[in-house]
Structure 1
Amino acid sequence: MGVRSDLEANFDYEIVDEFLDHYSMMVESMEVMIIDLTKPNMYKRSINELFRVFHNIKSASGYLQILPMNKLASFVEDALENLRSNSASINQETVDWLLQISDMFAIWQDDLKQDSELSKIKFSLLKTPDLDK
């Protein structure tokens, strides 16, 4: 039994279905928002939107007891909170890290679709890059 079957066994189908729909939309929008962080005129809007996305994933995965997703979303949310207080710029190391984070959430999206176990978090994602320019 995979993660989706576990969710459907423990939560109302409508809640699970709504989570999967919203999660899919958030994962699909992450990469564009991350790339937009490199554009000075888009930085503020993109960092706030990314923060909101990870906050929503953290909240929903916490409610649904998807622990790895919840922990990584919380970790990223904290890093984004630090970036929100920065000026309108971001370094390439942080962009690359965020893109790898986005890839991890996309892998989990596939895991959910295929009803398999969640893939393990790549250790390299747990090291926050130097957030300063």
Structure 2
Amino acid sequence: MGIRSDLDSNFDFEIVDEFLDHYSMMVESMEVMILDLEKPNKYSRSIDELFRVFHNIKSASGYLKIAPMAKLSAFVEDVLEELRKTHELPNGDIVTWLLAISDMYSQWQDDLKLDNNLSHIKYSLLKTPYLEK
């Protein structure tokens, strides 16, 4: 029994299905938003949208008791909030880290689709990049 089976046995099908649909859309849009952080004309919109994506995933995964996803989302949300305060384009380390974060969420998407156990968070993702240029 994997993560999908666990969700289906503990929550209403419609709630799980809606989460999976929204999660899929958010994961698929992450990479573009992350890459847009390096573009001055797209930075503000992208950072705000990324923050909303991780906030929404944090809330939904918290409700569904998917603890690793909720905790990583809260962690990323905090880093994004710090970035929002600087009003500066992120350095390459931050973009690389965020792309690795996006890969983790893509892996979880696969885990959900294949009804696998949720993959463990890679330790390297828990080390925040230096936020200054």
TM-score, length basis structure 1: 0.99
Question: Distance between the aligned counterparts of 2:55 and 2:128, measured in 1?
Answer: 17
Contact 1:40 1:89 in 2 (8 A): yes
Aligned residues: 133
Contact 1:111 1:117 in 2 (8 A): yes
Contact 1:44 1:88 in 2 (8 A): no
Question: Distance between the aligned counterparts of 2:104 and 2:64, measured in 1?
Answer: 19
Question: Distance between the aligned counterparts of 1:75 and 1:9, measured in 2?
Answer: 28
Equivalent residue runs for 1:27-46 within 5 Å? 27-46=27-46
Identity of aligned residues (%): 72
Contact 1:27 1:106 in 2 (8 A): yes
What secondary structure, in the 3-state scheme, does the structure 2 residue paired with 1:113 have? Answer: helix
Q: C-alpha displacement at 1:86, in angstroms?
A: 1.3
Equivalent residue runs for 1:59-98 within 5 Å? 59-98=59-98
Question: Distance between the aligned counterparts of 2:26 and 2:6, measured in 1?
Answer: 22
The structure 1 segments of at least 4 consecutive aligned residues displaced by more than 6 Å after TM superposition are none
Contact 1:55 1:74 in 2 (8 A): yes
